[in-house]
Amino acid sequence: MIANYGYKDGSGEYYISIDTDKCIDCAAERACLTACPKQMFEIIEDDYDDQVAWIKKPNCRTLAYDCADCKPSSGYTSLPCITACTPGAIKHSW
């Protein structure tokens, strides 16, 4: 399942997509949990009883601000969460 967490508002579309099929058997030992400086990722048991990552609820409403520090304008050339997720399950829409 591709789970899109986030929102669209007047300033743009801010979604983090997690491909749960790639996430279930994480080959990166859940590196996203520690890679995100804001610790937005959390492991939950989804409706199909699989252990997958999701974005914590409060962060889903503030992604544009929460992720701003990791974007190129803040000096990063690649996003820490995407880099840490070697199976390639995480994508940003912006």
Partner 1 sequence: MITAGIDMGSRSVKVVLLEELDVNGAPQLKYGVKKAYIMMPGDMDQDVAAEKAYDEALAEAGLKREDVSAVFATGAGRKQVAFAKEGVTEMTAGAKGAVFMYPAARTVVDVGAEEGRGMKTDAEGKAIDFAGNEKCAAGAGSFAEAMSRALQMSLKEFGEASLQSDKSIPMNAQCTVFAESEVVSLIHSSTPKNDIAKAVLDAVASRVCAMVRRVGIEGEVVLIGGMVHNAGFVSSLKNAMGVDTISLPDMPEYISALGCAMIAAERQH
Residues that bind partner 1 (CB under 8 A): 1-10, 13, 15, 46-48, 57, 60-61, 93
Q: What are phi and psi of 31, to 5 degrees?
A: -65, -20
Residue with Cβ nearer partner 1 (60 or 79): 60
CB of 81 to partner 1, least distance (A): 18
Residue with Cβ nearer partner 1 (11 or 73): 11
CB of 77 to partner 1, least distance (A): 26
